[in-house]
Structure 1
């Protein structure tokens, strides 16, 4: 009886320590990386948008585990020289509220389209990277009159084989109630840095990126849960969306690295290009998953082509 009581007290103490440390780390991340843009209210959901530059409207949508800083590191400042760039935090990440109920790519596209319109961008060019590219495709399919052109960068577009990675599987399940606070509280900084570096493979992570991105924002409990929920349903959502790609009738530029091991080129980029009439596929030889931060000139050139094809430049 005494041993059981001691074990119970130890569990309670560990839980309280984890909750306290998680809260401390979340507060520290938000203090170090506060919102840098505007907050827009869409149906009781707060959307964070960073706006820079002048010219045709261009919306940028980041990938999994990201935030606006992924684009402000290199690509957005380049494009702001000739576009009005609107960079959104996706729902549940950065400083945009998590969606209630349906959190999938179609729901995210609807929210960001409404936020763009509220900011005066009625028919922007829409660029999405990685998971954000899936959101951009959902925008193009389900809201075709509200954009001028599409640019996908390293975007998943098809259902693929293989199980959901174990961390997403745990965090999106009931076990996430235990696992998520533990990750927020105790994951080592070295692990985070290594995870960021792996995304850049086979290229090296640019100097200063790890400090700029604010990875601690993604390690907040609500963001970990949102990220896992998004990833858990993505394959089935793409399976439902893919048969409708032929409906896309705006200029589409597809930018994808041939060495992308996160979202493989042949599984995603090639079928997408074949499905959309007039799509222009740019194969970046030997480039991995994040060309917007490795070869940003190539991505900016795709935006310029999309703008020209849409009659905006």
Structure 2
């Protein structure tokens, strides 16, 4: 395989997009689905779901946001932003030659990107799926986002210096990844374990995770502003709920996700459909990929 940005082989292609070199995986033919990974998630976390969508006849496009996977990192002075990511989604689709409407699927925090994309580019949206999305009941902010991003870069640099002084030159990776991400029904593939061992939990990944987390409140505020000015398109919209086992938390989480669905009302008054997968962990895209793929297929009329 050709060299990736970190000097090794890669799963997809690396293309210049908006000042970054993004690792993009484009597979299959048919109606296009753009899969957006969660906070702290790389392209291979979506492998099990992708395999099932490919079997259904979809074209599946994934990319690593800056700093994740095999994409180039952000410079310390660059802030992650909601509208910047939405524009990056558009540019990735343009770069792989997808000009028509696509199904946009986002897991967890990426639900913000999916909803914003639908509002900014309604003509390019064939359907929107929020998988266990990050819905905030009330706006909040602890520290200014720029401070948080600077602190993220500083914390990782300090940690690198400390661990290097201790003789640790590679941080824990694949073993930790298997604790965070539940295996799919068929288990993890060798490729997933290999890629997790290379990128998960490493300094570039940790910087991207901490920086994106630091701007979450700002992105939520920007999305709230978009809701006042940009209607969602009249396309199928689905809120997928990963319902946990714990009874009290399960009732609250399902209630919260239904509240989320109520905010996603189109100009025609059409509300989002709610699908509950129970019991399921937050990484339902890996743990229960068959159910998630079936929901996406149903939206496309499959």
**In structure 1, how many angstroms separate the alpha carbons of the residues matched to 2:160 and 2:39?**
16
Equivalent of 1:141 in 94, 114, 119 = 119
Higher helix share: 1
For residues 158 and 24 of structure 2, what CA distance do their matches in structure 1 show?
A: 32
Q: Does residue 1:34 correspond to 2:14, yes or no?
A: no
Q: 1:268 to 1:96 in 2, by over 3 A?
A: farther
The alignment covers a number of residue pairs equal to: 274
Matched residue, 2:187: 207
CA, structure 1 residues 59+45, in 2 after alignment: closer, same or farther (shift >3 Å)? same
- 1:90 maps to 2:65: yes
Please report the TM-score for the alignment, with normalisation by the length of structure 1. 0.74
Tell me how far apart the structure 1 counterparts of residues 10 and 298 of structure 2 sit (CA, whole Å): 31
* Corresponding residue to 1:280 among 273, 276, 279: 273
Matches within 5 A, 1:216-231: 216-231=198-213
Flag structure 1 segments of 5+ consecutive residues without an equivalent.
Answer: 1-28
Structure 1 SS opposite 2:129: strand
Distance 1:91 1:188 in 2: 20
TM-score, with length taken from structure 2: 0.77
Aligned: 1:130 with 2:115: no
Matched, 1:258 2:272: no
Q: SS of the counterpart of 1:288?
A: coil
What is the aligned counterpart of 2:24 among 49, 55, 65?
49
Return the match for 1:232 from 214, 239, 250. 214
Which of the two has higher C-alpha Rg?
A: 1
Contact 1:133–1:155 (CA under 8 A) maintained in structure 2: yes
2:50 aligns with 76
Match of 2:296 in 1: 303
Aligned counterparts of 2:39 and 2:21: Cα–Cα separation in 1: 19
- Structure 1 residue aligned with 2:268: none
**What residue in structure 2 maps to residue 26 of structure 1?**
none
Structure 1 Cα separation of the partners of residues 184 and 103 of structure 2: 29
Relative distance call for 1:156 and 1:268 in structure 2 (3 A) is farther
5+ long unaligned stretches in structure 2: 266-270
RMSD: 3.5
Paired with 2:136 and 2:83, the residues of 1 have a C-alpha distance of 15
Which piece of structure 1 moves more, 245-254 or 121-130? 245-254
Contact 1:30/1:217 (8 A) holds in 2: no
